[in-house]
Every structure is written in C-alpha cells, then in structure tokens.
Amino acid sequence: MKQFILSAPPDKRGRIRLSGEDYHYLVNVRRFSPGALFNARLPSGEAALVRVCSVEKGRLTGVCLEQPETPGEFPGPPLVLFQALPKGAKMDLILRQAAEGGLREVVPFCSEFAVPRTGAAGDEKRDRWQRILKEARQQSGSAVPTTVRSPCTEEALWDYWQGLRDQYPRTLGLLFHQDPLAGGTLHGYLSADPELVVLAVGPEGGFSPGEAARFLAHGFKPMVIGNTIFRVETAALYAAAAVRTILLERTSWMLKSNP
C-alpha cells in the first residue's frame, strides 16, 4: 500500500502543512484535492490516515485522523547491508530494493575491486540516496525506516561493525562470496536466534582473497547461494530475500527440526 513519509510531526491539532517538493508530489503527481484521504507514516514510525483540508498557493493542509492498526516492521531481527560500492548508478537500484525489502540500514564502503572511491562527493551521494529511500518506502508502504550511511573506507567499516556487535551481542555477519569457503547453511546460521543480521556483498569483481579473509577474521560466516554468479545489483536483493524468507518461516522450520 502506498504511503507518504512525513518529515515533521503534525501540530497539537493534528494538522500538517506541506509545500515544495512534497506539495508537488501530492497535488501534481498523486492528484490529491480537498477531501482526499491518503496513508502516511509519521517521523515516529506510526501510521496515519490524512485527510486533505485545503490546497492553495503552493501549500497543502491536512489533518491526521485515527488510523486502524496496520502491519508493523518485519517480525524478526533487523537486517543491515554492508555493500561494496558498485559502478555507476547501480547503487540507486540496490537502495531502492533495500527499502522495498525492509532492510534497516545500508552501509556503502570502498573495497579493493570497487571503482568508486570515497571523497567530498560522498555527502552529495547520500542526499540523493536518502531521496531514493523515501520514494521507495512511499511506493512500497514499508514500515521499516531504511537509512543509508555515507560511503566509508574498509577501516571505518570495521569500527562500525564492532559498534554493532557491542550494541547487539548476538549479531550474525554473513559474507556472500562467489567461492565456497565453508559448508555452512543459512538455516544453520539463523537458528542461533541472532539479534541483528548483517549481509556483506561485494562489488562487480567480488571480494579479493585478502578481503574475504578479513571478513572471516572479524566473525563473518561465509555463504554461497546456488552455483551461479549474480550481478552486483541482484546479489544483495537475492541474499536479503533468502534471509528474510527463512526468518519469516522460522517458527515452522524450527518446530520440524525439534520434534
């Protein structure tokens, strides 16, 4: 179900006032007029139903109504994507799919085989990426507030990884690699009831042997899905979908494995 992401909460009377790009989207793209109703997501994450009160002089005024209870976030541990920077605009597609798939956060980083490099343009990229995430959440209706960090170096990535492990002691890191490095399975890894799941996906050329070794040294579990090599923009989607499906069906398969 489509929704509109509000950047500010309503006032004490439950009213909202939107202008600029928000006005253009709701009035010129969605064609809302006074009396129309649309689903919205408040900055707090709560769902709301908004009725348009007026549309004039480049400003839309609406009021938040009571909203029946709607499905919340993904019922399982948050999913985070460590994505090595790909070529061109492929990151845009990866982010759109991450928001639609309910990932909590995307952390882009510069790997050995990545063509892009971090620099002054990082914040500009992040601003564009945040707009993409907002559009994807509005289109898909995702309740998960997906965020993206500015591109970082591998060294900064390990600092962030350690911070996550300090916050979530039962963090599971999964390294999706093009070569089989061990015989573990997703069901086996996910049966440990992780508090947070981090997926690491490489760029077009994959991870170098040295990078793969460092991921393993930092506690990541190696994983290969199938016997084909995915495009970089497909790999993250495939990995996240596999993990999320297994977690959604966890009650079922855990019961079968423990009669």
Helix axes 122-140, 90-100, angle to 10 degrees: 40
CA triple 174-180-182, angle to 5 deg: 65
- Give residues with Cβ within 8 angstroms of 241, minimum separation 6: 101
Q: Is residue 111 a contact partner of residue 207, using CB atoms and an 8 Å limit? A: yes
Q: How far apart are CA 253 and CA 259, in angstroms?
A: 10
Domain count, the chain: 2
**In this structure, are 10 and 99 located in the same domain?**
no
- pTM given for the model: 0.83
Asked whether the predicted pLDDT for residue 259 surpasses 70, the reply is no
Q: How far apart are CA 222 and CA 179, in angstroms?
A: 9
Query: pLDDT-derived band of residue 107, with 50, 70 and 90 as boundaries?
Result: very high
- Mean pLDDT over each residue of the chain, to the nearest integer: 86
pLDDT at 73: 60
Work out the average pLDDT over 106-117. 83
Residue 179 lies in a domain: yes
**In this structure, are 123 and 195 located in the same domain?**
yes
Domain span at residue 195 reads 79-254
Handedness of CA 102, 105, 110, 111 (dihedral sign): negative
